[in-house]
């Protein structure tokens, strides 16, 4: 230190000149000289202690001088951080053993309060606290380890000094642990030493491996002095604290480096007693509450370690104490919880956290503690304490939060705590207290953060966390009661079955309090108040910004001081950080520009100019802190750099005040560490005293930012809990149609959407894409969207169209703003995903309502048109690409007309990038979504042309080389739609020819494969075993049937719209194509044996659980009910149950088949008839083509006439159509037939009509006359059909056409028999 500083020495005048005397250098030289003589230990102790005090006052200066003078005679060539170093330090005084010998001699002779060991440890502690990282500090840490392990074996002249040394070395150890996250070089070395050195572990364990009884005996022992007992207990507290910190930081780290430590902690063979046993006993040591608190905290961490430990390492024996130990522990817990007054709040909270930890991670241990042969004293004490919730809510919400955390842990592990929960549920007082608290916090008025005091803000944060936990408890109980209700609906369940589900006794009695839960969670006023209070986001970005400005102001001030060589009492680590910032700042173009401007004004360059710029920057930042914004220019850019630096970020750490708090993941600034690194307490004694307000103001601003973060995170947890309850509420209301659940659905008020959207807009305003935006805002936005999404899903039928418009506008605003953020931020991705899901849900509701009501259709379309560019921009985000494209597809398909949406997509959609993803191997999961969108786009002629120009077909061909599953049909659909949209213009003939050439020549094997689905074999061998073998091959899937449908659609479009190209290209293969089509049609016509088609996909399994919508017992609907089952069943088992179902009398009541008919089975039946329709359509097109050719030639060329199905095949399809339509119409005489059933009836009548046309063609070409028996039977069935369809107007046109073709097929029938 220089002359004039508070610690410097004297002035001397030699020859009229004044010299500077550096006391630090003198002290360092003295240490070096004294180190050669062990007898100087006492003087050495005082000198080193003085050096430690100096180090605290001026860390940077003292460290530099000490290193320069090599005070510990450590070889400066040695670098412990360089692996493979070869230099030797054997001559070092510190490492050679001379210092250790000096310490040993000093302990025997020194009876003063300044032992050399304590002085060396004090110096080590100060160096670690100052953030010094070099070989000297590392060597001192290693030497401290030597002291820790060996000091208990030294001889002491004064016995209490032993414990003073113990406490000091433990302080150093704790400093090492705390410094690890901030130490870039030594952190890993320190942790390896602490976690892997068994000698350290054994030393620490010897201190704490004691019982409460052994400590009590010391108080009556003549061998222990009171000062020694106090030292021992203080050491126990210190070790407990150290082990808790180590376990909290590495509770789940079981790598090879940390296994040694964890094994030692969890060992059940530790002597004189295991750690767990010792902690259980020490909790009963009421003579020293600090030991109780430390033991309780450590035992809480051991519960977590025991759960996350590999079973083969530790097992569960360590948490299986004896009955007496459990009884003592239970009694101690009861004594703590039953206190009427919180004489020791820390102990009370620590016990609650221990119970919570045990409930989550060691259920067997907790049950043994709570269950005392039918008694439950601990629970009774807790319930009695809960009655004081009225006082706790306002006076001490932190304690109440820990009580609730324990209750929540019990409910979350309900299957293991059946009896405990039964007792808690039986306490009506508990639910009343919970509901009362919800009402109180729900009616909390909005607040301004600036009007809150520190204690008020902390209290409010705890209140929001309490609300979150209570709502989570309610959600858990609702879920459990729902399961109980399901069990109660099954009276045939055995008692054992109920117990295996986690519940015992009479289930109905367990439901007695469910009404209270429903009233708490479903009451409109309560839910409304909860939404009102939790939705508003009170985060003030200015608070965080002020903290950053204050930190920048402090940093600039320190930069100026460091430039003059005055580091004051700043730690070495903080000085280095700011020095690096200063270098980067001076290298910025803006700083260079300012230097040039100042030079032009006549200022000299060098350090003085830099100091001038820093001074001006300081006053600019000071003005901004006081409300005066910095104008644009170089100083603005420099301020941006400072605000965006990681100066404060390095001091952020996870809040660990409440281990199981809902807001335990919030990261706060460590103000205590910042203050320590600043050395602020010493500023008033140095030349930095005038600037003390700068540091104090920075700390105040940072504390305000911490409170804001804590408060906003707590409110976020409350909002998420509201979302959980509401979501569970809606899930139950959709699953259960009971009056209670219907009432729950009615309670949801659509007007809440207005409030949520307003709050969302308000929160969005506080979001900014620049550096000072908090991630908490994004999380809050996501929670708001989740709540809105939950309301939308539950009430879509009740929500009017104007509310959906508001949701669309809100989503568009959010997406537009979030697109400006860095897409890699996880919170941005999640919020955008939720907004897109909200859009999708709202659009689905809108499309449903638009079909039944045209009110608001113009507003919907205008809003959607404004949304399209935003959604196209969202496609640039790969994380939400699929969802964005799905929303666009739904929007243009159901809510817009092509002439409005196509110009927007043409301008904003990058179609080339979209098609390129079909070729990207990393985007195979996107292929179905892209193809579905392109299918919608291809329905418009301009869209089809866009696809043609963009090279979609070549990309599709590359995709078909190794196509993903179920892509064939989608690709064919897009091509088919393109052909249909492009029309018959000759401009696109090259495209048509390439399509025919590719699919029917290069990929003809795939066409053949899908036309043989299900596999059909018409071999002439009719032996039973051969028939059985062929039947067993008739297995398919619904997806394969849809692929077959898409294949036939393409064939029909080509055969109809581009006949000349089709005939020319298919000249050699058309006969085989017709034969395959006829064989498949013949199989569908028979309908005598089921087709095995099990549900495979999730949506198929879901539809299998739904009842039949056709409700037919005829033809393929009856057979599908038998063959479309999820479990594999042999075909023989199914075929034995039914033969010729179509010939059954349909007039009988359906009493046996209804149970087996499902929605999925009906879907398969409908799919079969769709394929049959397309097969008939293709064959009819071929027949019409041949007829046209015959007209042109003037005769029928039988040699080239296309193959047509036999009349028996056509008759089978006719009979099926008549039977099904007649059955449906008779069953719905007095009620309206649903649209999907109407479509089925029209499809079947079209099948019948086309089959009659083909029958007419066959009879005229081949001269086959109708069989008289068939005509009579057909006539009777048709009469029944006509009679059944008379009352259904939607079938009138189809029946007219059917009658006309029937009169042509059967002209010989008498007039009385004609179908009129």
> Encoding tokens for residue 820?
């400006």
Direct distance between the N- and C-terminal alpha carbons of the chain, in angstroms, rounded to an integer: 120
- Which one has a higher pLDDT value, 272 or 759? 759
Q: Which of the four pLDDT bands, split at 50, 70 and 90, describes residue 1026?
A: very low
Q: What is the pLDDT of residues 421-470, one digit of tens each?
A: 888 887 777 777 777 777 777 676 666 666 667 777 888 888 888 889 98
> Which H or E element spans position 71?
none
Q: What is the pLDDT of residues 519-553, one digit of tens each?
A: 555 566 777 778 877 787 777 778 888 899 999 99
Q: What is the pLDDT of residues 267-289, one digit of tens each?
A: 877 667 888 899 999 999 999 99
Cβ 174 vs Cβ 125: under 8 Å: no
Q: Which residues, listed in sequence order, are joined to residue 1035 by a DSSP beta bridge?
A: 1092
Quickly list DSSP for 277-314: HHHHHHTT-TT-HHHHHHHHHHHHHHHHHHHHS-HHHH
Helix ranges, 22-158 (H): 23-34, 41-57, 59-69, 98-109, 116-129, 135-150
Cβ atoms within 10 Å of 150's Cβ, excluding its own: 14
Q: Which residue has the tokens 């100060």?
A: 126
Cβ 120 vs Cβ 171: under 8 Å: no
Quickly list DSSP for 380-444: HHHHHHHTTHHHHHHH-HHHHHHHHHHHHHHHHTGGG-HHHHHHHHT-HHHHHHHHHHHHHHHTP
296 has a pLDDT exceeding 90: yes
Crossing angle (nearest 10°) for helices 428-442 and 454-488: 130
75 has a pLDDT exceeding 60: no
646 has a pLDDT exceeding 90: no
pLDDT the model gives residue 1269: 67
Is the peptide bond prior to 553 cis by the omega test (within 30 degrees of 0)?
no
pLDDT the model gives residue 96: 55
- Helix, strand, coil shares of the chain, percent, nearest 5, are 70, 0, 30
pLDDT the model gives residue 206: 92
> Encoding tokens for residue 616?
């001006």
CA–CA separation, 299 and 321 (whole Å): 13
pLDDT the model gives residue 422: 84
Lowest mean pLDDT of 630-634, 1025-1029, 1229-1233, 1294-1298, name the range.
1025-1029
CA–CA separation, 1122 and 1092 (whole Å): 8
CA nearest to 1244, candidates 1304, 1290, 1283? 1290
> Encoding tokens for residue 946?
């866009």
DSSP conformational letter for 17: E
pLDDT the model gives residue 90: 40
pLDDT the model gives residue 499: 42
CA–CA separation, 272 and 285 (whole Å): 18
- Which one has a higher pLDDT value, 607 or 348? 348
Which residues have CB under 8 Å from 723's CB, separation 6+? 783, 786, 787, 790
Torsion of CA 1106, 1107, 1111, 1114, to 10 degrees: 70
Q: What is the pLDDT of residues 997-1020, one digit of tens each?
A: 998 888 888 888 888 877 765 444
Lowest mean pLDDT of 34-38, 294-298, 805-809, name the range.
34-38
Rg value, the chain, Cα: 42
Which residues have CB under 8 Å from 190's CB, separation 6+? 141, 176, 177, 179, 180, 183
CA–CA separation, 997 and 762 (whole Å): 60
Is the peptide bond prior to 713 cis by the omega test (within 30 degrees of 0)?
no
771 has a pLDDT exceeding 60: no
- Which one has a higher pLDDT value, 216 or 604? 216
Average pLDDT (399-407) is 91
CA–CA separation, 497 and 488 (whole Å): 12
**Exposure of 153 in the CB half-sphere (CA atoms within 13 A):** 6
Q: Which of the four pLDDT bands, split at 50, 70 and 90, describes residue 497?
A: very low
CA nearest to 205, candidates 296, 269, 257, 141? 269
> Encoding tokens for residue 460?
């409010």
> Which H or E element spans position 229?
helix 226-249
> Encoding tokens for residue 966?
């179920």
CA nearest to 1210, candidates 1126, 1159, 1296, 1274? 1274
Average pLDDT (140-153) is 89
Phi, psi (degrees; rounded to nearest 5) at 279: -65, -40
Percent of the chain with pLDDT over 90: 26
Q: Are strands 12-14 and 17-19 parallel, antiparallel or unpaired?
A: antiparallel
pLDDT the model gives residue 656: 55
Lowest mean pLDDT of 704-708, 931-935, 1021-1025, name the range.
1021-1025
Q: Which residue has the tokens 């369809």?
A: 1285
State the average pLDDT for the chain: 80
Three-class secondary structure of residue 580 per DSSP:
helix
- Which one has a higher pLDDT value, 747 or 1267? 1267
175 has a pLDDT exceeding 60: yes
> Encoding tokens for residue 721?
């809990």
Number of H helices, E strands in the chain: 62, 4
Q: What is the pLDDT of residues 1073-1124, one digit of tens each?
A: 888 999 999 999 988 888 888 888 888 888 888 888 888 888 899 988 888 8
- Distances in Å between the Cα of 527 and the Cα atoms of 298, 521, 535, 538, 1289 are 40, 7, 12, 20, 48
> Encoding tokens for residue 707?
């409170």
> Encoding tokens for residue 1013?
């689905």
pLDDT the model gives residue 1244: 93
Average pLDDT (362-366) is 90
Q: Which of the four pLDDT bands, split at 50, 70 and 90, describes residue 946?
A: very high
Phi, psi (degrees; rounded to nearest 5) at 7: -100, -5
pLDDT the model gives residue 293: 95
Best mean pLDDT range from 383-397, 746-760, 1246-1260: 1246-1260
Is the peptide bond prior to 1014 cis by the omega test (within 30 degrees of 0)?
yes
Phi, psi (degrees; rounded to nearest 5) at 17: -115, 150
Q: What is the pLDDT of residues 106-130, one digit of tens each?
A: 777 776 667 888 998 999 999 999 9
1247 has a pLDDT exceeding 90: yes
Specify the pTM. Answer: 0.81
CA nearest to 361, candidates 305, 281, 318? 305
CA–CA separation, 792 and 799 (whole Å): 8
């Amino acid at each position: 230190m220089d002359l004039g500083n508070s610690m410097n020495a004297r002035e001397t005048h030699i020859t009229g000149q004044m010299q500077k005397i550096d006391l630090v250098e003198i002290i360092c030289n003295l240490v070096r000289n004294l180190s050669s003589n062990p007898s100087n230990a006492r003087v050495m102790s005082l000198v080193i202690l003085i050096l430690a005090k100096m180090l605290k006052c001026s860390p940077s200066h003292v460290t530099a001088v000490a290193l320069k003078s090599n005070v510990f005679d450590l070889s400066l060539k040695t670098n412990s951080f360089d692996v493979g170093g070869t230099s030797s330090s054997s001559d070092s005084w510190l490492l050679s053993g001379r210092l250790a010998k000096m310490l040993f001699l000093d302990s025997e002779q020194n009876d003063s309060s300044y032992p050399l060991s304590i002085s060396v440890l004090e110096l080590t502690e100060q160096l670690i606290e100052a953030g010094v990282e070099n070989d000297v500090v590392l060597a001192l840490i290693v030497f401290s380890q030597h002291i820790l392990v060996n000091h208990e074996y030294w001889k002491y002249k004064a016995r209490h000094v032993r414990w003073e040394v113990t406490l000091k070395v433990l302080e150093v150890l704790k400093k090492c642990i705390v410094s690890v996250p901030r130490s870039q070089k030594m952190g890993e070395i320190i942790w390896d030493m602490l976690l892997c050195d068994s000698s350290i572990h054994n030393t620490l364990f010897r201190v704490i491996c004691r019982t409460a009884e052994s400590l009590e005996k010391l108080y009556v022992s003549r061998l222990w002095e009171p000062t020694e007992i106090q030292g021992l207990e203080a050491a126990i507290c210190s070790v407990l604290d150290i082990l808790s910190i180590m376990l909290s930081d590495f509770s789940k780290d079981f790598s090879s480096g940390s296994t040694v430590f964890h094994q030692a902690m969890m060992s059940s063979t530790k002597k004189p007693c295991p750690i767990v046993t010792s902690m259980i006993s020490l909790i009963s040591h009421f003579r020293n509450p600090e030991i109780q608190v430390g033991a309780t905290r450590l035992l809480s961490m051991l519960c977590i370690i025991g759960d996350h430990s590999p079973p083969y390492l530790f097992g569960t024996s360590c948490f299986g104490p004896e009955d007496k130990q459990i009884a003592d522990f239970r009694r101690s817990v009861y004594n703590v919880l039953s206190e009427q007054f919180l004489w020791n709040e820390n102990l009370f909270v620590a016990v609650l956290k221990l119970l919570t930890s045990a409930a989550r991670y060691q259920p067997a241990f907790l049950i043994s503690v709570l269950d005392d042969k039918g008694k439950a004293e601990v629970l009774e004490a807790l319930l009695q304490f809960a009655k004081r919730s009225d006082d706790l809510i306002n006076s001490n919400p932190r304690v109440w939060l820990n009580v609730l955390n324990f209750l929540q842990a019990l409910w979350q592990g309900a299957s293991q705590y059946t009896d405990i929960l039964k007792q808690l549920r039986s306490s009506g007082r508990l639910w009343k207290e919970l509901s009362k608290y919800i009402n109180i916090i729900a009616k909390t008025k909005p607040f301004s953060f600036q009007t809150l005091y520190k204690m008020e803000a902390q209290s409010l944060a705890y209140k929001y966390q309490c609300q979150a936990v209570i709502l989570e408890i309610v959600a858990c109980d609702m879920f459990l009661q729902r399961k109980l209700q399901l069990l109660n609906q099954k009276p045939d369940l055995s008692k054992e079955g109920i117990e295996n589900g986690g519940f015992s006794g009479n289930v109905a009695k367990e439901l007695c309090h469910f009404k209270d839960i429903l009233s708490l969670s479903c009451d409109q006023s309560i839910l409304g108040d909860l939404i009102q209070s939790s939705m508003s986001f009170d985060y003030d970005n200015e608070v965080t910004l002020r903290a950053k400005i204050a930190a920048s102001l402090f940093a600039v001030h320190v930069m100026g001081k460091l430039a003059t060589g005055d580091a004051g009492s700043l730690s070495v680590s903080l000085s280095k950080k700011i020095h690096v910032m200063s270098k980067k700042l001076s290298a910025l173009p803006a700083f260079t520009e300012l230097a040039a401007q100042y030079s032009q004004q006549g200022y000299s360059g060098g350090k003085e100019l830099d100091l001038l710029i820093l001074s001006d920057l300081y006053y600019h930042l000071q003005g901004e802190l006081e409300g005066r914004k910095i104008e644009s220019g170089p100083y603005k850019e420099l301020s941006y750099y400072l605000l965006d630096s990681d100066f404060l970020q390095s001091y952020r750490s996870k809040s660990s005040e409440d281990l199981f708090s809902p807001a335990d993941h919030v990261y706060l600034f460590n103000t205590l560490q910042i203050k320590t690194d600043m050395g602020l307490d010493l500023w008033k004694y140095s030349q930095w005293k005038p600037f003390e307000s700068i540091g104090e103001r920075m700390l105040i601003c940072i504390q305000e930012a911490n409170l804001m973060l804590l408060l906003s995170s707590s409110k976020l947890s409350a909002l998420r809990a509201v979302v959980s309850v509401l979501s569970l509420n809606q899930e139950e209301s959709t699953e259960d149609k009971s009056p209670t659940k219907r009432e729950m659905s009615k309670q949801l008020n659509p007007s809440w959407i207005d409030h949520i959207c307003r709050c969302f807009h308000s929160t969005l305003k506080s979001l900014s894409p620049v550096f000072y935006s908090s991630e908490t805002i994004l999380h809050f936005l996501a929670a708001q969207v989740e709540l809105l999404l939950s309301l939308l899903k539950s009430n879509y039928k009740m929500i009017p169209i104007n509310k959906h418009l508001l949701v669309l506008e809100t989503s568009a605003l959010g997406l537009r703003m979030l697109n400006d953020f860095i897409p890699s931020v996880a919170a941005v991705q999640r919020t955008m995903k939720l907004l897109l899901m909200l859009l999708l849900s709202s659009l689905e509701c809108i499309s449903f309502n638009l079909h039944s009501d045209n009110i608001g259709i113009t507003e919907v379309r205008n809003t959607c048109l404004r949304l399209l560019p935003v959604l196209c921009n969202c496609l640039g985000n790969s994380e939400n690409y699929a969802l964005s494209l799905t929303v666009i597809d739904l929007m243009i398909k159901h809510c817009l007309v092509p002439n409005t949406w196509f110009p927007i997509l043409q301008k904003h959609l990058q179609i080339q990038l979209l098609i390129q993803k079909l070729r990207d191997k990393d985007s195979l999961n996107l292929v179905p979504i892209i193809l579905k969108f392109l299918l919608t786009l291809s329905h418009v002629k301009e869209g089809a042309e866009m696809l043609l120009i963009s090279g979609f077909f070549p990309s599709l061909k590359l995709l078909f080389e190794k196509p993903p599953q179920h892509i064939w049909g989608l690709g064919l659909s897009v091509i088919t739609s393109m052909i249909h949209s492009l029309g018959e213009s000759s401009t696109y003939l090259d495209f048509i020819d390439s399509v025919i050439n590719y699919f029917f020549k290069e990929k003809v094997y795939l066409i053949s494969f899908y036309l043989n689905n299900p596999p059909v074999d018409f071999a002439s061998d009719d032996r039973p075993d051969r028939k059985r073998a062929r039947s067993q091959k008739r297995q398919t899937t619904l997806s394969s049937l849809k692929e077959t449908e898409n294949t036939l659609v393409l064939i029909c479009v080509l055969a109809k719209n581009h006949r000349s190209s089709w005939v020319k290209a298919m000249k050699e293969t058309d006969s085989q194509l017709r034969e395959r089509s006829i064989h498949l049609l013949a199989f569908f016509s028979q309908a005598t044996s089921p087709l095995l088609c099990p549900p495979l996909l999730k949506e198929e399994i879901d539809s299998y659980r739904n009842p039949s919508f056709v409700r037919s017992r005829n033809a393929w609907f009856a057979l599908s009910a038998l063959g479309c089952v999820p479990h594999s069943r042999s075909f023989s088992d199914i075929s034995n149950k039914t033969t010729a179902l179509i010939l059954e009398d349909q007039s009988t009541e359906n009493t046996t088949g209804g149970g087996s008919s499902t929605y999925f089975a009906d879907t398969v039946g409908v799919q079969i008839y769709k394929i049959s329709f397309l097969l008939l359509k293709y064959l009819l097109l071929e027949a019409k083509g041949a007829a046209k050719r015959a007209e042109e030639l003037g005769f029928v060329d039988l040699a080239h006439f296309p193959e047509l199905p036999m009349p028996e095949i056509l008759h089978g399809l006719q009979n099926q159509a008549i039977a099904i339509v007649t059955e449906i119409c008779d069953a719905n005489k007095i009620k309206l037939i649903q649209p999907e059933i109407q479509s089925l009836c029209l499809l079947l009548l079209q099948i019948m009509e086309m089959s009659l046309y083909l029958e007419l063609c066959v009879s005229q070409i081949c001269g086959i006359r109708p069989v008289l028996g068939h005509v009579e039977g057909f006539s009777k069935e048709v009469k029944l059909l006509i009679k059944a369809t008379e009352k259904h107007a939607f079938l009138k046109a189809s029946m007219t056409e059917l009658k006309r073709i029937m009169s042509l097929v059967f002209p010989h029938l008498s007039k009385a028999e004609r179908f009129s």
